[in-house]
Amino acid sequence: MIVAVAALESELAGIRRQMKLACSYLVGQMRIAEGWLAGRECVLAQSGMGRERAEHALGFVLNRYRPSAVVALGYSGALAAKLRAGDLVVCSQVHALVAMPTPLHPMPSLGLLACDHHLVARALHVELSPSWTTERWLPKLRPERPVGGGCLTLPYLASYRQMKEWLSWNFSGAVVDMESFWYGCLAQQARVPFLAVRAISDPLTESLPPLEGLIDDSGHTHTSALSRYLLHHPLACGSLMRLGLHAHRAQQSLTVFFSKFVKEMNL
């Protein structure tokens, strides 16, 4: 059995649609889905955002099931200029800042864990959907694969371009998120192989629009609040549309990757 865990419902939505579901249930604000994907037994766990919800959700899953691997999936901000929206990063290492940097504490203490090297090697060889590129003015169809890199887990969302740029100058890592390190700690304590794979939703040069009222800490999107949101943030319309497009690309990448990864795994 493979467990996929993510903070937001949209990060797992494409995978859930491809699964043959056996059951789906709520544990508080967590949503758990059991079923089969590519003929293999899988559990999807949507935890919500941040350390506390990540630890609570995966702790419940590890106590209830006996997974052969835990794969953390989700959107992330880019800390590398070459990464575009929808690109996938397979994380060989995950760092964590226990607090956000301040003028008095510019380099907070770090935590570090390594993802399972066998899972990393397999994930890097998953062939994604082909994409068109231009070389010497001629269209060329080439397969894409995930890229390798590190992940930096923060206690808060890195919303602003300036923050991501500062992090990219001061810390190693290709992507930034809020949960991967805490998922990985629990998986390693349970002696379950762990892998983190992140899809870019906001490139290095872009800031996120203010999202208050649209996504809660449990990871649920409130579409009914969109009109009220735009009323209070009229200038955010363009950036919100761009984020929606980026998130759609990221969701597609996660769905294609995990489906092929599960199919090719021998777990």
Q: Which of 46-60, 160-174, 224-238 holds the top average pLDDT? A: 46-60
pLDDT tens profile 85-110: 999 999 999 999 887 776 666 667 78
Q: Which of 27-36, 136-145, 151-160, 183-192 holds the top average pLDDT? A: 183-192
- Phi-psi region for residue 262, left (φ > 0), alpha (ψ -120 to 50) or beta? alpha
What is the secondary structure of 180-228 as a DSSP string? HHHHHHHHHHTT--EEEEEEEEE-TT-PPPP-TTTB-TTS-B-GGGHHH
pLDDT tens profile 226-254: 666 666 666 667 677 788 899 999 999 99
**Across residues 2-19, what is the average pLDDT?**
96
Among the ranges given (1-15, 157-171, 180-194), the one the predictor scored with the smallest mean pLDDT: 157-171
**How much of the chain, in percent, has pLDDT values that exceed 70?**
80
**Across residues 121-150, what is the average pLDDT?**
71
Who has greater pLDDT, 223 or 179?
A: 179
Q: What angle do CA 175, 49, 167 make, to 5 degrees?
A: 30
Contact 261, 71 (CB under 8 A): yes
Helices (H) and strands (E) in the chain, counts: 7, 12
3-state helix, strand, coil in the chain (%, to 5): 35, 30, 35
**Across residues 34-57, what is the average pLDDT?**
95
Check residue 128 and give its pLDDT.
85
Check residue 170 and give its pLDDT.
87
Contact 201, 74 (CB under 8 A): no
Residue 139 has pLDDT above 60, yes or no: no
**Across residues 175-183, what is the average pLDDT?**
97
- CB atoms near residue 147 (< 10 Å): 14
Check residue 44 and give its pLDDT.
98
> Could you tell me the pLDDT band of residue 143, with boundaries at 50, 70 and 90?
low
